[in-house]
Amino acid sequence: MSEKPRVSLAVVKRLPKYYRYLGLIADKGIIRVSSQELSKITGLTASQIRQDLNHFGGFGQQGYGYNVEELKSEIEKIIGIDKSYKAIIVGMGNIGQAIYKYRGFNEDSGFKIVGLFDKDKNTIGRTMSGIKVNDIKNINKFLQKENVHIAVLAVPADSAQEVCDTLVEGNVKGIWNFAPIDLKLPKDVVLENVHLDESLFTLTYYMNNLKDYPGTKN
């Protein structure tokens, strides 16, 4: 039996976009939507949308389109946000605090912040929305007690790999990295980098080379 083809990164990156727009459509009370209608909303072609969704099975019916709630629910399962995740934030500087305030981190969304860590003496012991900031020296003991799934890494580059190694030892399987460094991880730990400077430089490149911008229509 042949293996199922690997889903490309480009397709994976588009799934949250579909999920977000389906949520907006559902909030308007719309029951069904065609790939052509999704195309107008998302800016992607109807053919691209059908190809992307076909990677995961047939969700629509010819002449009917997609049931909005059913498709939203299926994408929720594909992305994995039908499950619950415990998360911690390591580094409670400006970025760490901004992430902590992010509305996506709440029990209703399936993500729950269970711990905050820092090494700054002026930050340790502070209570932020009911959670006390712990000394990063205590992170090993914390990880032994709590089954933490995701760690948000918002520490300086020079300490990121060391902290990352500690997280891996603590059986954390997903790291959302905001540190400006490429980390080395075992294959069973998933890493998602958010390098703000790279994103900013991509913006300025497209501003100066508009012909290359994917949103530009010829």
Model's pTM, two decimal places?
A: 0.88
Give the per-residue pLDDT at 107: 61
Give the per-residue pLDDT at 1: 47
Give the per-residue pLDDT at 218: 42
Query: Nearest to residue 136, comparing CAs of 108, 115, 156?
Result: 115
Alpha-carbon distance of 121 to 126, in angstroms, equals 10
78 touches 110 (CB < 8 A): no
Residues comprising the chain, all counted: 218
pLDDT averaged per 10 residues, the chain (length 218): 75 93 94 93 91 85 84 94 94 94 75 95 93 96 96 96 97 96 95 91 93 67
Give the per-residue pLDDT at 3: 63
- Copy the structure tokens of residue 113: 């912040």
- Secondary structure (3-state) at 67: strand
Rounded to 5°, the CA angle 204-192-196 comes to 25
Burial of 206 (0-12, 13-18, 19+ CB in 10 A): middle
Backbone angles phi, psi at 55, to 5 degrees: -65, -25
